[in-house]
Amino acid sequence: MKIAVCLKQVPTRDWQPRLDEAKSWIREQDATFEMNEPDAYALEEGLRLKEKHGGEVVVCSLGPSRVAQVLREALARGADRAIHVQLDAAGAGGHNDAFVVAAALADAMQSEQFDLVLTGLQSDDQGFGQTGVILAERLGLPHATIVMDVQVAPPNVRVKRELEGGWFQWVSMPLPAVLTIQSGINQLRYATLKGIIAAKKKDIKAVTPAALAAPKASIAALYAPEKTKKTQLIEGPPAAAAKELVRRLRDEARVI
């Protein structure tokens, strides 16, 4: 089985975001980066399917030269090879939208003829959850989202989808297919010293998009969350303060 896993490099969670001058994206030159956590679960699921059914896992990512960091990390965890779609220029708003990313990845993956394409449900930095869905459309493949379990029985794949309100749905579809994996579907593995050494010998194929699709969305503005509430101190004797507190809870907050 030939499995592709799409990865995204995102700012680390403990980095305090700083906005650029246009207030349309972050100052990437000040940021530190890591593998998108939902994509890490997709990678783990791909590795487990390979261990069960055989074949290879190919990791794919789009972005500037720093993206090679997450590709090497994925190779150290057990992926067989990597495809780096090199793209330094950002679209409107200082970043590439899901349509641009999916189109570029699809063009790079067309000739590979993958049996299964996995992505994380969404990215930690934007969280739109659209790249995997658009990628399926660009590849002309069936897809399922919010996948909690994957059962491969060629020529079909059966998946468990998470719905609202605690409900689940089982869906069967023909291979090849695209699946967006829900975080928590499995227990993540980490790179071993042996894996890190082996990753240095694995191939990262660099490709350049022939032409970029026009973006369909852009970020108009970003701003840091503003604190609108503040602590109020009720002074005076305890009995009077308690009476005033009750009044405010009843008349102003309307919680009693």
Task: Tell me what the mean pLDDT of segment 167-176 comes to.
Answer: 96
Average pLDDT over residues 167-188: 96
What are the distances in angstroms from CA 83 to CA 33, 73, 118, 171, 213? Answer: 19, 13, 14, 30, 19
Domains located in the chain, CATH noted: 2-207 (3.40.50.620)
| pLDDT classification of 214: cutoffs 50, 70, 90 | confident
Average pLDDT score, the chain:
91
Taking 50 as the threshold, does the pLDDT of residue 104 lie above it? yes
Q: What pLDDT sits at residue 92?
A: 41
pLDDT of residue 90: 57
- Residue 93, pLDDT above cutoff 70: no
Mean per-residue pLDDT, 96-113: 92
The C-alpha angle with vertex 130 and arms to 124 and 133, in degrees rounded to 5, equals 130
Q: Which of 23-27, 45-49, 148-152, 174-178 has the lowest mean pLDDT?
A: 23-27
Average pLDDT for 149-167: 95
pLDDT surpasses 70 at 89: no
Most confident of 92-106, 136-150, 227-241: 136-150
SS (H, E, C) 95-137: CCCHHHHHHHHHHHHHHHCCCEEEEECCCCCCCCCCHHHHHHH
- Mean per-residue pLDDT for 72-99? 83
> Which pLDDT belongs to residue 192?
93
More confident residue, 220 or 121: 121
Q: Is the pLDDT reported for residue 95 higher than 80?
A: no
pLDDT of residue 24: 79
Average pLDDT estimate for 17-38 = 86
Decide if pLDDT at 203 tops 60: yes
Mean pLDDT to the nearest integer, 181-207? 94
